[in-house]
Amino acid sequence: MFGILFASFESMSTTLTLTFKFLSENPRVVEELRVEHEAIVKKRENPNSRLTWEEYRSMTFTQMVVNETLRISNIPPGLFRKALKDFQVKGFTVPAGWTVMLVTPATQLNPETFKDPVTFNPWRWQDLDQVTISKNFMPFGGGTRQCAGAEYSKLVLSTFLHILVTNYSFTKVKGGDVSRTPIISFGDGIHIKFTARA
Ligand SMILES: *[C@@H]1O[C@H](CO)[C@@H](O)[C@H](O)[C@H]1NC(C)=O
Ligand SMILES: *[C@@H]1O[C@H](CO)[C@@H](O)[C@H](O)[C@H]1NC(C)=O
C-alpha cells in the first residue's frame, strides 16, 4: 500500500512542490527557462499547436532543471538489492541472500562529484559526462528495475514547466521549509501566488 501511494502520489507532488521552492529562490533559473520555452513557442508555425515530441527533446536547460531537482530531492531514500553471492565491503562479508540498501542520497549529494551538493545549480549538468551521471545519479533506480514511470515523470515535469513559465509569473508568499521523516515533508507547505502573463 505504501509503495502504491508513494509511487503514484507522493513522488510527483513532492517533486513539483520542491520545483516551486527552487525556482522561487533562483530567479535566474526561471529567466533561462523562459528564454528556452519562449523560443520554442516563437518557432512554431501555428501558434496554437500543442507541444510536440521534437520540442520536448529540444528542452536542454529544462532537463538540467529537472535533473537538478531530482538530484537534490532524493525522493526515494534508497534502493534495495539482494546479494546473489558473498561479497566484501571494507573487511565485512555480506552473505549471499542478504538484502542490501543502496543509499542514493550518498552518491547524489557527494561533494566530489557534485560540487556544493546542496546548492541548486542546474548549470552543473553542462559539465557532467554520461558515465559519471549513470554511476552517481539514480533518481529512478537503475538497471532492468528502473522505475517504470521514469520517462513519463520527466515528460510531465517538463510539460508543467513549459506551461508555467510561458503562461504564468509566480512569487513565493511563504513557506518552503523542508524536512525528512525519511520522506520529504513541507511543514506549512509552500504558498505561491500566480499571475497570468499577457
Ligand atoms: C539528465 O539525467 C539523465 C540520466 O537520468 C541523463 O541521461 C541526461 O543526460 C541528463 N540531462 C542533462 C541535460 O544533463
Ligand atoms: C498559454 O497562453 C497562450 C497565449 O495566451 C494560450 O493560447 C494557451 O492556451 C495558454 N495555455 C495554457 C495551457 O493555459
Share of the chain above pLDDT 90, in %: 69
Which residue's CA is the closest to the ligand 2 atom numbered 10? 167
* Sign of the CA dihedral with 38 first, then 43, 48, and 50 last: negative
Determine, yes or no, domain membership for 104: yes
Cβ of 163 closer than 6 Å to ligand 2, yes or no, is yes
Ligand nearest to the CA of 164: 2
Determine, yes or no, domain membership for 55: yes
Choosing from 167, 169, 197 the residue with most ligand 2 atoms within 8 A of its CB, the one to mutate for a pocket test is 167
User: Which CA distances in Å does 79 have to 22, 37, 76, 84?
Assistant: 25, 34, 7, 16
Cell 566530489: give the residue.
Answer: 112
Per-residue pLDDT tens listing for the chain (198 residues): 877 887 788 888 899 999 999 999 999 999 999 999 999 999 998 888 899 999 999 999 999 999 999 999 888 878 889 999 999 999 999 999 999 998 888 999 999 999 999 999 999 999 999 999 999 999 988 778 888 889 999 999 999 999 999 999 999 999 989 988 878 888 888 999 999 997
Determine, yes or no, domain membership for 188: no
Report how far ligand 1's centroid is from the alpha carbon of 178 (Å): 25
Determine, yes or no, domain membership for 194: no
Determine, yes or no, domain membership for 196: no
Contact 175, 190 (CB under 8 A): yes
Report how far ligand 1's centroid is from the alpha carbon of 98 (Å): 32
Domain that holds residue 47: 2-169
65/71 Cα distance (integer angstroms): 10
Residue 33: count of CB within 10 angstroms of its CB: 22
Determine, yes or no, domain membership for 87: yes
Domain at 134, CATH number: 1.10.630.10
Determine, yes or no, domain membership for 175: no
Q: Model pTM greater than 0.95? A: no
Determine, yes or no, domain membership for 198: no
User: Could you read off the pLDDT of 148-163 as tens digits, one per residue?
Assistant: 889 999 999 999 999 9
Cα torsion for 19, 20, 25, 30, to the nearest 10°?
Answer: 80
Pick from 58, 67, 82: nearest CA to 19:
67
Report how far ligand 2's centroid is from the alpha carbon of 167 (Å): 6
Report the number of distinct structural domains present in the chain.
1
147 is in an annotated binding site: yes
